[in-house]
């Protein structure tokens, strides 16, 4: 009782003592945790951060002790966040991105360049042609613009916009679809028809359109769950099964397997402008489609975001493939 009285000495009667964290949250440890979640591996995170794996493990263990819950669970191919870890990852990423934006803003003030660059994200098939072309048109009409482009999958881009890391993202509603989030503004740009990519010497090359049943005995390759789901659903509607026997890490690897005759694949029509010359595409009867959207934050929009959305809208017609600009170079989704 004496100790409690001494603790309350000098405080008005009845004042509650605020509960305080015993240790400040270490941003470097938060960065380590976010990196482990992104790479799905302690060793890969250690290599990227130039730490030892034991140092990374100690940081994660200390963070778990501080928060009082397990943040990671192991699986055969690495680690993934627990439910609590995913919640913390979301907030830690937002905090780290906000600090990074603050640092860049201070440097801009120091350097006398208050105009922040426009940061744009896009699914890699759209980053291969549609989005760079829209930015080119924006710069032709509005003048020089500092900008950057990040290709990633729709779910990743969604998180990056919420975290404040992107000003605009061009995404798709391919499975599993787009979440509704009141913090974001969503605009439908158009519809993209999926097509089949074949080796240039394939017997069906030049045959348009093709029924999926004519391709049912082929070996298919896929690089992500969303595209595989679209393929399976389309085949099921026709009463056949598409044999997805091969898996590629990304779209360049997927197209490479097609080019070398190992398989055929379903790809976005938006990508046809940027394919390598040793493959060709055929359209499908009643093809699977995906909606193309822009997402932007409702608060603090970049001054160049709205003009870019206007340029993107101009690029999209009823079907995307009719209005895709021809831009050379590789692509990935």
Average pLDDT of the residues in 36-46: 93
Rama region for 300: left / alpha / beta (φ>0; ψ in -120 to 50; rest) = left
The predicted pLDDT at position 114 comes to 52
Q: Whole-angstrom Cα distance, residue 141 to residue 32? A: 42
Closest CA to 74 of 118, 38, 41, 107: 41
Strands 168-172 and 147-151: unpaired
Residues 185 and 253 in one domain: no
| Of the residues 60, 83, 114, the one at which a domain ends | 114
DSSP 3-state of 151: strand
**Overall average pLDDT of the 84-100 stretch:** 88
Residue 170 has pLDDT above 70, yes or no: yes
108 shares its domain with 220: no
Mean pLDDT of 264-289: 92
Counting the structural domains of the chain, the total is 3
pLDDT tens digits, one per residue of 121-137: 999 899 988 999 999 99
Partners of residue 252 on adjacent β-strands: none
Paired tokens of 193: 């028809």
Domain that holds residue 80: 23-114
Please check whether residues 155 and 302 belong to one and the same domain.
yes
On whether both 184 and 201 belong to a single domain, the answer is no
Q: At what angle do helices 130-142 and 305-315 cross, to 10 degrees?
A: 120
What are the CA-CA distances from residue 311 to residues 133, 136, 167, 216, 315 (Å)?
9, 9, 15, 39, 7
220/94 same-domain check: no
Predicted confidence (pLDDT) per residue in 310-325, tens digit: 999 988 754 444 344 4
Decide if pLDDT at 223 tops 70: yes
Mean pLDDT of all residues in 93-107: 80
Does a structural domain hold residue 226?
A: yes
Instruction: Give the list of residues 6+ apart from residue 320 with CB closer than 8 angstroms, or none.
Output: 130, 190, 191, 192, 193, 268, 269, 270, 292
């Amino acid at each position: 009782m004496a100790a409690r009285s001494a603790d309350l000495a000098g405080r008005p009667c009845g004042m509650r003592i605020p509960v305080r964290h015993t240790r400040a949250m270490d941003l470097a440890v938060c960065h380590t945790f976010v990196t482990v979640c992104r790479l799905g591996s302690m060793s890969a995170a250690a290599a990227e951060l130039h730490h030892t794996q034991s140092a990374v493990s100690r940081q994660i263990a200390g963070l778990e002790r501080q928060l009082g819950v397990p943040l990671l669970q192991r699986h055969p191919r690495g680690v993934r966040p627990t439910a609590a870890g995913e919640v913390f990852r979301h907030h830690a990423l937002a905090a780290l991105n906000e600090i990074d934006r603050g640092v860049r803003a201070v440097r801009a003030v120091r350097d006398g360049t208050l105009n922040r660059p426009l940061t744009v994200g896009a699914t890699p098939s759209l980053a291969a042609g549609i989005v760079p072309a829209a930015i080119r048109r924006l710069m032709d009409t509005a003048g020089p613009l500092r900008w950057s482009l990040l290709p990633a999958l729709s779910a990743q881009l969604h998180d990056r916009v919420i975290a404040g890391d992107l000003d605009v993202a061009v995404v798709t509603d391919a499975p599993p679809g787009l979440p509704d989030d009141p913090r974001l503004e969503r605009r439908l740009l158009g519809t993209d028809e999926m097509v089949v990519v074949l080796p240039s010497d394939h017997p069906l090359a030049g045959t348009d359109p093709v029924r999926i049943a004519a391709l049912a005995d082929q070996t298919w390759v896929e690089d992500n769950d969303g595209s595989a789901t679209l393929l399976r659903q389309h085949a099921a509607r026709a009463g056949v099964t598409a044999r997805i026997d091969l898996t590629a890490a990304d779209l360049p690897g997927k197209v490479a397997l097609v080019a070398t005759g190992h398989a055929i694949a379903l790809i976005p029509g938006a990508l046809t402008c940027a394919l390598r010359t040793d493959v060709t595409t055929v359209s499908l009867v009643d093809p699977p489609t995906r909606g193309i959207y822009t997402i932007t934050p409702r608060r603090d929009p970049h001054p160049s975001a709205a003009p870019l959305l206007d340029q993107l809208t101009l690029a999209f017609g009823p079907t995307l493939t009719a209005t895709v600009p021809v831009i050379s170079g590789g692509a990935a989704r």
